[in-house]
Amino acid sequence: VTELLYIAKSDSNEIRMERSEFDISNTVSGVCLNFEALAFEAERELIADISPRLKYFGDEDRIKQLITILIDNAIKYSIIGSQISVSMFRNNQNRIKICVSNRCENMTEENISKLFDRFYRVDPSRNSGTGGNGLGLNIAQSIAETHGGSINVNYNHGIISFVVVL
């Protein structure tokens, strides 16, 4: 329900951004820490490589939401026993680059091209055990774009990576 409300507000430009400067390194590290136990319980290893003391001007709660969506998906859809990698640094264009990667089942080009579509699920079965409604990545994309950034997906040899540039 919360996700549907976000989408409705986003469509009607009613999302209010509470922008301020914050330490995005602490924010992303905090989200990673919150997921470590869940990853462990799911038999995955969460590895974070976060550049320290990076400042960013944006809506900290929305950035937390974006990172939460990406890590939650990585845990749900990664292969048991695999690693989930979260990295963040400032790139050559002085922008924040965040990458969440994990090993997953084979993805087709068609699946990859639809990942950010509303209500799209690679496994359409509601009984797949992952839950969800196919809105998370669409919301993550909306958050990145509202911050003047982008989110892209790369798939190579069984590794899927979501790359956010803010």
Give me the CATH number covering residue 52: 3.30.565.10
Provide DSSP, 130-155. ----S-HHHHHHHHHHHTT-EEEEEE
Does residue 12 lie within any of the structural domains? no
DSSP letter (8 states) at residue 49: E
Give the pLDDT band of residue 4 (cuts 50, 70, 90): very low
Does residue 7 lie within any of the structural domains? no
Nearest CA to 77 out of 113, 101, 51, 53 is that of 101
Q: Residue 105: helix, strand or coil by DSSP? A: coil
The mean of the pLDDT values for the chain is 87
Query: Each residue of 45-96: pLDDT tens digit?
Result: 999 999 999 999 999 999 999 999 999 999 999 999 999 999 999 999 999 9
Domain that holds residue 92: 20-165
